[in-house]
Amino acid sequence: MATLVDLTRDHTNLDAEQVAHLKDLVSSWGLLADLSFADLILYGRSGVDTASTLVLLGHVRPTTGTTLYRADLVGQVFEQQRRGLIADCFERSEVVHGTVDEGADRGLNIMAVPVVLNGETVAVLARERTNVSERPSSEQERTYLKVFERFARMLEQGQFPYRDEARLRHRTPRVGDGLLLVDDEGRIEFSSPNAVSVLHRLGMQRGIIGARLADTGLGASILRTAFARRTTVIDEMEGENEVAVVSHCFPLLDGEDPTGAIVLVRDVTELRRRDRQLVSKDTTIREVHHRVKNNLQTISSLLRLQGRRLRSDEARAALDESIRRIGAISVVHETLAQSAEDDVAFVDIVRPLVGVVEESVSSPLRPVSFSVEGDAGVLPAQVTTTMAVVLTELLQNAVDHAFRFEPGEVGPDGRGVATVDIQMERRPDGLKVTVVDNGVGLPEDFRLEESTGLGLTIVKTFVEGELGGSIRLDPVTRGSGTVAEVQVPSARLVGIRDEAQEPLA
């Protein structure tokens, strides 16, 4: 589906500022649809001559009434004569009222409002509802319709949407949350039932109509700031009984003069309680990762102490390998302990992991150069832990088996420095991690499926069994060395609660 930016680019001559003005309008026009109890349709125009066409740029349905259109209308193009009221509004740059006969039993009451910016009509907002002139209206409905008409005048005068409008941290408020209508002196003229309930929860038990907004507990400065800045003001406060309320103040303007305001109030007590629970949960999880990391380091220290007492070189080597594997898992938990998320960017694991391996295997007499290229994106914690062990084994395997020449001796590729390159690539079908060394290469009779080494056995078990992926070892195409390639399908890169995230371009 084409966006508003796409439609304005393809069907109108609007500039960037005008398009931004329309984007601000559609970001908050759900409020206008609720106030009008009607569908709102935004029209653009391809030009200023009679042969120009009209394009439907946007459509919003009310939550306070029934929509007239079940189908999506956005993107449709009309000749001007088919939408005469809209074309007339573009020409006159003023509000136009009219009716359209849609059949024997259906007539549409249309109010076309020019959307003005810097004195120019850049679009037309059409309110479309069935003819309801004979239906009795409640005080609430009459009030909402009058407020909508005040917003319509602001659109006509170029005062809405506001400049530099503040944005909520959560969803845009709707009329159903609770509405207070305030006059230019700050006294409440009307309060919807939901707004009354919110104020009662804040502790206001006396009469609301006629009271000053500053006496409701919503904050004394919100209205004063909205009038001074001629724009929306958002405030959140918490009462003594831990009731949290978000207030969104919309000043009603006549030219540059504030004539009143509407204040939408929403009880967010439950949301804030859940936020506090999530913060507490995240803190607890990070503390668990921190303690696991400390425990793993303690185990590594105990194994080192044990290794010093062993006389067998083979036994000490086995303990060293175990310490290295524990260290790989410890790196993952250390990163998770510092992160506020359950999942982490794999590259944040790889770099310290390479540092740990490089520190344990590289020496001045036998230097090994490691490099990391590419990005694997964000992986679930369990996949990260498994891949950390797999990568550690592949790096250690490259160092142990690829570089069998003596210190200072030139390697098979003609270089005196052993190199190991880690390459990561996130693709739509999954993740590919490649470890390339410039060592002596694979034996001629090497078969991965027949390999009995513990390191490669761990790699095969983890990659194929836990990750459902594949592992292959091949000679370097040009020169000497070995390429170890691990591929993990995209289905295994999805966390429990959300989708896997690919690296940003």
> Residue 214 is part of a domain; what is its CATH number?
3.30.450.20
Tell whether 10 and 117 lie within a shared domain: yes
User: Of 252, 267, 282, at which residue does a domain stop?
Assistant: 267
User: Of 125, 157, 189, at which residue does a domain stop?
Assistant: 157
The model's pTM: 0.59
SS3 state at 346: helix
The sign of the torsion formed by the CA atoms of 89, 92, 96, 98 equals negative
Tell whether 244 and 275 lie within a shared domain: no
pLDDT digits (tens, 9 = 90+) for 200-218: 888 887 788 999 988 887 8
> At 93, which CATH number?
3.30.450.280
**Bond from prior residue into 161 cis (ω within 30 degrees of 0):** yes
Beta strands in 306-367 (DSSP E): 344-345
Query: Is residue 168 situated within a structural domain?
Result: no
Boundaries of domain holding 255: 175-267
Query: Is residue 361 situated within a structural domain?
Result: no
**16's tokens:** 């960037």
- In one-letter notation, the amino acid at residue 13 is N
Tell whether 250 and 287 lie within a shared domain: no
What is the rounded CA–CA span in Å between residue 298 and residue 135? 78
- The per-residue pLDDT for 340 is 54
SS3 state at 143: helix
Tell whether 195 and 255 lie within a shared domain: yes
Query: Is residue 385 situated within a structural domain?
Result: yes
Query: Is residue 346 situated within a structural domain?
Result: no
Tell whether 113 and 203 lie within a shared domain: no
Asked if 46 and 12 touch (Cβ cutoff 8 Å), the reply is yes
Tell whether 40 and 110 lie within a shared domain: yes
Tell whether 245 and 259 lie within a shared domain: yes
Query: Is residue 360 situated within a structural domain?
Result: no
CB count in 10 Å sphere of residue 350:
23
Structural domains in the chain (count): 4
User: Of 267, 285, 310, at which residue does a domain stop?
Assistant: 267
DSSP 369-415: EEEEEEE--EE-HHHHHHHHHHHHHHHHHHHHHH--SPTT---TTS-
Tell whether 153 and 20 lie within a shared domain: yes
Query: Is residue 167 situated within a structural domain?
Result: no
Q: Pairing between strand 368-375 and 418-427? A: parallel
Tell whether 190 and 288 lie within a shared domain: no
Query: Is residue 115 situated within a structural domain?
Result: yes
Tell whether 107 and 182 lie within a shared domain: no
Asked if 441 and 474 touch (Cβ cutoff 8 Å), the reply is no
Query: Is residue 187 situated within a structural domain?
Result: yes
Tally: H helices and E strands in the chain: 12, 18
The tens place of each residue's pLDDT in the chain, 505 residues long, gives: 689 999 999 999 999 999 999 999 998 899 999 999 999 999 999 987 777 899 999 999 998 888 888 888 899 999 988 899 999 999 999 999 998 876 555 678 899 999 999 999 999 999 998 865 555 578 899 999 999 999 999 999 999 999 876 665 556 677 888 999 999 999 999 999 999 988 888 888 778 899 998 888 787 688 999 999 999 988 888 877 778 888 899 999 998 899 999 999 988 878 777 776 666 666 656 666 567 667 767 777 777 777 777 878 778 777 777 777 777 667 766 666 666 566 677 888 888 888 777 776 665 666 788 888 998 888 887 788 788 888 888 887 777 766 655 545 545 444 556 788 899 999 888 899 999 888 887 887 788 887 777 778 888 888 888 888 999 988 887 777 888 899 999 888 875 444 444 444 4
Tell whether 450 and 378 lie within a shared domain: yes
Long-range contacts: 9-16, Cβ < 8 Å, 24+?
11/44, 11/46, 11/53, 11/55, 11/77, 12/44, 12/45, 12/46, 12/55, 13/46, 13/47, 14/44, 14/122
Tell whether 376 and 444 lie within a shared domain: yes
- Closest among 321, 378, 314, 373 to 346, alpha carbons compared: 378
